Structure 1
Amino acid sequence: MTVYTLAMESLSEQSFLILAALADQPRHGYGLVTEVAAMSDGRVQLRASTLYAALERLAARGLIAPDRDEVDNGRLRRYYRLTDTGATTVAAETQRMTDQARAAKRRLAKRDRQAAPRYGVTG
């Protein structure tokens, strides 16, 4: 059994995708909405209220931090960045999901072998 480096409360899919979207560069709210939608092939659509509540929770846990504020066409855009703790969390969660997917694949392969038709045997 793999021991994961963080024993923090688990991440929701939305929170995981927000953190993953920040892994390569800081982004503002709308940038996060579009990146999360792209990463999930449109399956996860963040609404503003959901996004900003998630950002507050992630910041409170020290996983993200404000990066900078910019004014664009008279509107303030706050950019967020992934912290080192956030990067460690994304890596640990990614490993956990990879391990679970591997285990599921092994079980499915075993099921497929067990369900293979047996010639010469009638039921």
Structure 2
Amino acid sequence: MADTEMREPTFFILASLVSGRKHGYAMIQDVAELSGGRVHLKVATLYTALDRLGKQELVATAGEEVVDGRLRRYYTVTESGSEALELELQRIEANARQVRSRLLLRPVSLRAASGAIA
């Protein structure tokens, strides 16, 4: 996974699970909050991603319980999942540093017109 960029929903699913085990609905809510409302997971999308991440050993099931007559399955991030998330965060930060340095090289007239980035 380190050779390719991680899709944004995957990034936020793993980030959600870093704080502890969660069931699907809690992940959907947490991902929306973590992403500032940019990522809205549908149930089918979430469970497809969790199946894929489970096969990649980035997440694991972490128990089940019945709540209001419905089975609730919990998930947790694995050590490999935490490492993949950390690598992706480093990749994003490195890209941001490169772009920020380029933005600072813009002619002064362009920076003044668009609002300087510090």
Distance 1:108 1:42 in 2: 27
Q: 1:39 aligns with which of 34, 54, 68?
A: 34
Larger radius of gyration: 1
CA RMSD of aligned residues (A): 1.7
TM-score, normalisation: structure 2: 0.88
Q: Is the counterpart of residue 48 in structure 1 residue 78 in structure 2?
A: no
Secondary structure in structure 2 of the residue aligned to 1:66 = strand
Task: Check 1:8–1:83 CA distance in 2 against 1; reply closer, same or farther (3 A cut).
Answer: farther
Distance 2:96 2:110 in 1: 21
Secondary structure in structure 1 of the residue aligned to 2:106 = helix
Q: 1:89 aligns with which of 84, 98, 101?
A: 84
User: Percent same amino acid among aligned pairs?
Assistant: 40
TM-score, normalisation: structure 1: 0.84
Match of 1:120 in 2: none
Give the alignment of 1:1-123 within 5 angstroms.
7-113=2-108, 115=110
- Offset at residue 112 of structure 1 (A): 4.3
Task: Check 1:75–1:109 CA distance in 2 against 1; reply closer, same or farther (3 A cut).
Answer: same
- Offset at residue 9 of structure 1 (A): 4.0
Distance 1:53 1:107 in 2: 38
Where structure 1 has 5 or more consecutive residues not aligned to the other structure, the ranges are 1-5, 118-123
Task: Check 1:20–1:116 CA distance in 2 against 1; reply closer, same or farther (3 A cut).
Answer: closer
Task: Check 1:116–1:96 CA distance in 2 against 1; reply closer, same or farther (3 A cut).
Answer: closer
- Offset at residue 10 of structure 1 (A): 3.0
Distance 1:16 1:68 in 2: 22
Secondary structure in structure 2 of the residue aligned to 1:11 = coil
User: Greater share of helix residues, 1 or 2?
Assistant: 2
Task: Check 1:32–1:114 CA distance in 2 against 1; reply closer, same or farther (3 A cut).
Answer: same
Where structure 2 has 5 or more consecutive residues not aligned to the other structure, the ranges are 113-118
